[in-house]
Homo-oligomer: A and B are copies of this chain.
């Protein structure tokens, strides 16, 4: 029996609804597999937890999580309770940074049975590889003067090490997929970080002579996600650019409620963390109508990461079969509720 220890953090809003659904799917996978057992430990860390304790997670939170095989996260943030930069900074971003989850991978591909908002989506299949530890998301900066004289400086920090490893990851995935790699830049407008980004990309490309490369400014590239997504394959991007592109990627798939993300630790010292791209959507929380597919596809990504690729493929096939049968939540044009969609996926498994 292969036992996997999973830390489960449902978080806020619909995270609390869709995480249990995804766990039901994983239960079904245990049945199918026969030799696989998930051991869940639940953590209530969230904005409500903050209201009670003044913290998004306990001081030894990272320590508590450190020996799990993976972390399964719902969604973090509820600005009606806690400002976003406090809630995200105190939980999601803290784990990403503390556990050196330096890469964030997010697929954007047409699933069978989903209707894209694009007129002619042409079966795109993109993998976004996002830098997840530095760049524009830096806590360095501050303010001077006040009133109309106030000036705020925000620093973005790019290191050769950080940029190299995300690009290397991108080249490796492109190699495995037999595909090509596009780098998201903005060196025509941003004077220091982006010319450096381009330099490292060019340098690294020389080590991968068989992989076709392309470099596009983030403005044009964002437009290409809409006008010709089928021309893209693997896309490597900075923290901010990857964030933006992965939401556009989710949008062209048909709903932000669909897409999964993996926060990958490369050095094996800490667990990786899996979470859907969507947020906590407090406005629809509690109605039982949230789309569980983002969280369930996230479970598939976690399975792949834990070496259970065959099980991952079964989950994805069940998602597609369910979508094709028309059992969908309202955000993607159906009329089923959260539990009905999960039930159908489990039945298909």
Contacts and interface: CB of A to CB of B under 8 A. Distances in A.
A175 interface: no
B158 A191 contact: no
A77 B152 CA distance: 31
A188 interface: yes
Given A119-B116, A248-B223, A192 B88 contact: no
Interface string A243-274: 11011101110011000000000000000000
A117 interface: yes
11 contacts: A83-B195, A118-B118, A151-B157, A151-B159, A154-B158, A154-B191, A154-B193, A186-B243, A218-B243, A219-B247, A222-B244
Interface in A231-247: 239-240, 243-244, 246-247
Given A150-B159, A152-B157, A138 B219 contact: no
Contacts of A193: 141, 152-154
Interface of A: 77, 83-85, 87-89, 93, 115-120, 136-139, 141-143, 147-161, 164, 186-196, 217-220, 222-224, 226-227, 239-240, 243-244, 246-248, 250-252, 255-256, 279
Nearest to A226: B251
Nearest to A154: B193
Most buried by B among A149, A194, A243, A279: A243
Given A161-B148, A219-B243, A256-B223, A192 B154 contact: yes
